[in-house]
Amino acid sequence: MLSKEEIKNIFKKEDLKILKSLGQNFLIDEKVLKKIIICSDLNSDDVVFEIGPGLGILTKELSEKCRKVVSIEKDVKISQMLKNKFENVEVINNDILQINIRELVQKYSENGKFKLVSNIPYYITSPIIKLFLENDVLPKIIVLLTQKEVAERICAKPGKLSMIALGVQTYGEPKIIDFVKNTSFYPCPKVDSAILKIIDIKRDFSKEYYKNLFRIMKIGFSAKRKKLVNNLSSGLQLDKKQSEEILSYAEIDLKARAQELGLDDWKKLSEIIQRK
């Protein structure tokens, strides 16, 4: 584990700059690092994808426990510094959101299985999760060090649900392993973090099913302060009576708001709307 001073010295020696635009905050807390490794359930056959390896603090630990680590780093200088540093690590200098995940998995994983374990740039948390959960190939598990508030939103229960929570919970089971103080990083971010783990990742239905499900969810959340019945009427171009009938069929309270519904409620609602 590198200290704050060691990180400063590396940046000075390699003529590097900490780029706030890339959300670069480097982990300096060994206890947090160990928790990430433990909860990732790693074994010697695993292929692990890592986004934003930075100075390779997490990368080193992953490489010692896995068969292959594929690290995607957007910073050109940092990616050059990391190349050939670890024997079983492939460093790819690219933007993760511009990469074809399916092709990457086919190239580095013979059986198509992989895990995603990363201390990710917080500003692209939602796009990263969406990219890996909605892809043709799904990770076995996802372990991310991300912003505390975002992790809490993802793990929310009915009554406080949002689109990001439903988007994750549709495909897997998220849980917070532990909270992490902002002092565990250098530079020190303004917010605290959390170790987020998503397990039981699967896709049971067709792409069309999920497309319809998320369309209804988006309509339901289109105006958060309004009742669900009004959002359905507006989004589906129905009169209020028709929307009330749909909610009654789905056994949903006519006074309910979108955030109060659970995932099963949304599935039932979407199925009824498709039938009608």
Residues 139 and 40 in one domain: yes
| CATH code of the domain containing 70 | 3.40.50.150
Render the chain in DSSP notation, one character per residue: ---HHHHHHHHHHTT----GGGT--EE--HHHHHHHHHHTT--TT-EEEEE--TTTHHHHHHHHHSSEEEEEE--HHHHHHHTTTSTTEEEEES-GGGS-HHHHHHHH-TTS--EEEEE--GGGHHHHHHHHHSSSS--S-EEEEEEHHHHHHHT--TTS--HHHHHHHTT-EEEEEEEE-GGGEES--SS-EEEEEEES----S-HHHHHHHHHHHHHHTSSTTS-HHHHHHHHHT--HHHHHHHHHHTT--TT--GGG--HHHHHHHHHHHHH-
pLDDT of residue 13: 82
- Distance, in Å, from the CA atom of 104 to the CA atom of 83, rounded to the nearest integer, reads 18
Burial of residue 177 (CB within 10 Å: 0-12, 13-18, 19+) is middle
Domain span at residue 266?
A: 207-275
Q: Which residue among 182, 199, 216 closes a domain?
A: 199
Q: Do 94 and 221 reside in the same domain of the chain?
A: no
- 135 and 13, same structural domain? yes
Domain boundary among 170, 199, 228: 199
Residue 88 shares a structural domain with residue 214:
no
Both 189 and 267 in one domain: the answer is no
Q: Are residues 140 and 266 in the same domain?
A: no
Residues 251 and 120 in one domain: no
Domain check: are 37 and 118 in the same one? yes
CA distances, 93 to each of 59, 134, 263 (Å): 15, 23, 38
pLDDT attached to residue 22: 66
User: What string of pLDDT tens digits covers the 276 residues of the chain?
Assistant: 788 888 888 878 878 777 776 677 889 999 999 999 999 999 999 999 999 998 999 999 999 999 999 999 998 889 998 998 898 999 999 999 999 999 999 999 999 999 999 999 888 999 999 999 999 999 999 999 999 999 999 999 999 999 999 999 999 999 999 999 999 999 888 999 999 999 999 999 999 999 999 999 999 999 988 999 999 999 999 999 999 999 999 999 999 999 999 999 999 999 999 987
Domains in the chain: how many in total? 2
114 and 217 both lie in a single domain: no
Residue 140's pLDDT is what? Answer: 97
196: tokens are 């987020």
Q: Which of 140, 164, 199 finishes a domain?
A: 199
Residue 121, preceding bond cis, omega within 30 degrees? Answer: no
pTM for the structure as a whole: 0.93
Shared domain for 26 and 120, answered yes or no, is yes
Angle formed by the axes of helices 30-39 and 57-65, to 10°?
A: 40
Same domain, 165 and 261: no
189 and 131 together in one domain: yes
Residue 250: CATH number of its domain: 1.10.8.100
Q: Which amino acid is at 30?
A: E
